[in-house]
Chain A
Amino acid sequence: MTDAALRQPQLSRSPIARSERTARLDGNPWTPYLFAAPVVLYLLLFQGYPLLRELMLSFTQTSLLTPQTSHFVGMRNYAELAARPDFWRVIGVTALYTAICVVLAIALGLGAALLLDRPFRGRGIARALVTIPWAAPPVAVATVFAWMLNAQYGIFNHWLKLLDLEIGYESWLDNPRLALPAILFTTIWQIFPFSSVVLLAALQGVSEEVREAAQIDGADKLSIFKVAVWPTIRPTVALLVLFVTIWSLRRFDLIWVMTQGGPIGATKTLVIELYTRAFVARELGEAAAVGMVGLSIALVVTVVYFWATQRAERAEGRR
């Protein structure tokens, strides 16, 4: 279904022609609204309304202990955030965490997808096994990685000792320099299978003939990839960049369980900061302001994505 849909020329299955056809089935113009109404109401109640409350909360000073009494303070929460150096550090950690997640999760996913694309004996099993990390619950992943990274008894340090590296018995999660790399390692282990699975599907669309044409034209392996494979999977990679970015900005459980943002803020991303502000510092207004900043970043990324994809499509004469 996927492949067929991907390869279909857009004209033959124009959604407009199809919608007009289905509209002829019955004349009631309200049917689509009736169909969409429950989910719209649901999302407005459990996402839209809380979001609005959160937005309003960000303009107030409200304590978790006395949420009924909140004072309107205008933009003060935002101004204070901007003035605090540790908040800029949070932004920095978030940016670094997100950027490295995007690059490595997609690069490794692509590498794995390319390895598993061509037939070999046991490919089906290999494809299934490689997606295991993605199926494991994040809290369980965090728990076992914390154990494997344990300073004294963890298997990582044991291996490092076997390799005779001087850095043996490093306490990965307690060292401000090593905690973020350790968290990144865990995150990428968990999410790269997702990009790999999606890219494997996209690789189905690569034309074998274009690959061979490049081969005959004398292209080397990297050139073949660039002219035959990359143009086909590029839209998928762009979509993955969007999703991995948004999910990295949102990720809470893995980081929280492993380090709670520590040590001394080394792994404190926006979401961790938001949660800490709300439930440790008990400042709901400030927490909400942090959330709004995070949301704005996600919005900007999304807008840039749609702008860039449309520009790329125009450049290739698809529109």
Chain B
Amino acid sequence: MASIKLNHVAKHFGTKVAISDVDLDVTDGEFLVLLGPSGCGKSTLLRMLAGLETVSSGEIHLGDRRVDQLPPSARDMAFVFQSYALYPHMSVRRNIAFPLIMRQFKWWFHIPLIGGWAKRRIERSPEVADLVEKTAKTLSLTEMLDRYPRTLSGGQRQRVALGRAMVRKPEVFLMDEPLSNLDAKLRTAMRAEITRLHQRVGGTFVYVTHDQVEAMTMGTRIALMRDGVVQQFGTPREIYTSPANTYVARFIGTPPMNLIEGSIDAGMIKFGEATLALPQALAAAGRSTGRAPVLLGIRPNALTLAAPGGQGQLAGTVSLVEHVGAESVVAVKLSHAATAHDEEGAVAGEIMITTQGYSELKPGDPVSVVPDLSEAVLFSRSTGEQLRAGLALAA
């Protein structure tokens, strides 16, 4: 049983709060991705799981064991480091066998010569040797077993690091941005390899990344963090289609979700002079706010461009066109509506629209934007939280 349960886990460095009150429930065999910008606490959380950082308060359970006070080696978790952390003076074979040797380690192994002999004996014993060979074969490292890490490429080193983790058959694999030191092409290949590895060896994976593509493609669930707080914990699909707040909305998706300011009145949403009818679900969600301003969250591909001047359309002018091969991204400055944006700063008043093919539009062209509200979401203007129908009833 390798379910992981975090109960009110927090971490302080002096007065600085790195992690505040994290609750996560990860079931056996899941691939959890901790996603967030640098400094959000995701690596700290992972290191607390591994036992490399102490827990300031709260509990961590692995299956039915409480592990937060145990030393790292007693937790049955493997850790794959960003820099791979291979032992530079050991061959690939010894690197992979090392955790197994440590398992049988006796104090007298520290005696020179005798210790070396004992370690070699363990390394050559059938159960260890077979396991190392098998692991190497799985990762196509067989030819490199007797080479030193220094002579391997980045991708090969990465696979050795994975092998060192796999060979222990741990209940939990912890990975700290393992792909960030690889070039883009290799990263895509290794992404698939890790996903396959997860399917084959089973076990629970916890994977830290700042790359939303990795998170969306690999995770069975994602915990998106910011400033030590989990913003949303859900499947990639939930996080994409129904972000819990404007921060999540802007973090996921390229270009990110547009947030357009408006107000709700009797099942209708008004943006400046334009008025649109809300679908039933959104209307129900919007009812709770009364007339307070809201943000309409809508993905760039749910917007289409039309000739200016139709009903239920937002008027604006094209400010920038980017061609990305199969599709074009058009930035439009709305004439009558403001847009919200994250601190990284999309230009105020602009929204992004992706259209298929090569757009012939030029900056300055007047256009109107037709939103498809079936997959849109509403956020409170003041709190940034998503407005949901269920919550409205409760309120």
Contacts and interface: CB of A to CB of B under 8 A. Distances in A.
Interface string B43-55: 0000000111000
B307 to A, nearest CB: 55
- Which 3 A-B residue pairings sit nearest by Cβ, starting from the closest? A218-B73, A209-B85, A213-B85
Interface string B75-100: 00111011111111110000000110
B239 to A, nearest CB: 29
Given A216-B50, A217-B102, 17 more contacts: A209-B82, A212-B50, A212-B72, A213-B85, A215-B73, A216-B51, A216-B52, A216-B77, A216-B78, A217-B98, A218-B102, A218-B105, A220-B105, A222-B110, A223-B110, A227-B89, A232-B88
B12 interface: no
Contacts of B78: 216
B304 to A, nearest CB: 49
Contact of B85 (A207, A316, A318): A207
18 contacts: A207-B85, A209-B81, A209-B84, A210-B87, A212-B85, A215-B72, A216-B73, A216-B78, A218-B73, A218-B102, A218-B103, A222-B110, A227-B87, A227-B89, A227-B98, A231-B88, A316-B89, A317-B147
Interface in A209-263: 209-210, 212-220, 222-223, 227-228, 231-232
B39 to A, nearest CB: 18
Nearest to A213: B85
B358 to A, nearest CB: 41
Interface of A: 207, 209-210, 212-220, 222-223, 227-228, 231-232, 316-318
B77 A207 contact: no
B8 to A, nearest CB: 25
Contact of B72 (A209, A216, A227): A216
A212 B82 CA distance: 12
Contacts of B77: 216
Interface residues of B, number: 32
Contact of A218 (B84, B85, B99, B151): B99
Contacts of A210: 85-88
A314 B64 CA distance: 50
A231 to B, nearest CB: 4
Contacts of A220: 105, 107
Contacts of B79: 212-213, 216
B164 interface: yes
- With most chain B CB atoms within 10 A of its CB, the pick from A213, A215, A219, A227 is A213
B247 interface: no
A228 B150 contact: no
A216 B88 CA distance: 17
Nearest to A208: B85
- With most chain B CB atoms within 10 A of its CB, the pick from A216, A223, A228, A316 is A216
Contacts of B148: 316-317
Nearest to B104: A218
A318 B98 CA distance: 22
Nearest to B103: A218
Contacts, number: 75
A227 B148 CA distance: 14
A309 to B, nearest CB: 14
Contacts of A228: 87
Nearest to B50: A216
B197 to A, nearest CB: 18
Interface string B136-151: 0000000000011011
Contacts of B84: 209
B102 A223 contact: yes
Contacts of B72: 212, 215-216
Nearest to A220: B105
B87 A316 contact: no
Contacts of B168: 217
Contacts of B73: 215-219
B150 A213 contact: no
Nearest to B168: A217
A318 B87 contact: no
A317 B81 contact: no
Contact of A209 (B83, B102, B105, B164): B83
Contacts of A317: 147-148, 150-151
A219 B99 CA distance: 8
Contact of B150 (A212, A227, A316): A316
Interface in B283-308: none
Nearest to B170: A216
A143 B82 CA distance: 54
- With most chain A CB atoms within 10 A of its CB, the pick from B50, B99, B107 is B99
B171 to A, nearest CB: 13
Contacts of A223: 102, 105, 110
Nearest to A215: B72
Contacts of B52: 212, 215-216
Nearest to B87: A227
Contact of B83 (A207, A219, A231): A207
B351 to A, nearest CB: 43
Given A217-B164, A218-B99, A316-B148, A212 B88 contact: no
A227 B85 CA distance: 11
A213 B50 CA distance: 10
Contacts of A316: 88-89, 148, 150
Nearest to A312: B89
A212 B72 CA distance: 9
A227 B90 contact: yes
A213 B86 CA distance: 8
Nearest to B78: A216
B104 to A, nearest CB: 10
A215 B78 CA distance: 11
Nearest to A228: B87
A123 to B, nearest CB: 17
B81 A213 contact: yes
Interface in B145-170: 147-148, 150-151, 164, 168
A114 B110 CA distance: 19
A8 B344 CA distance: 33
Nearest to B147: A317
Contacts of B150: 316-318
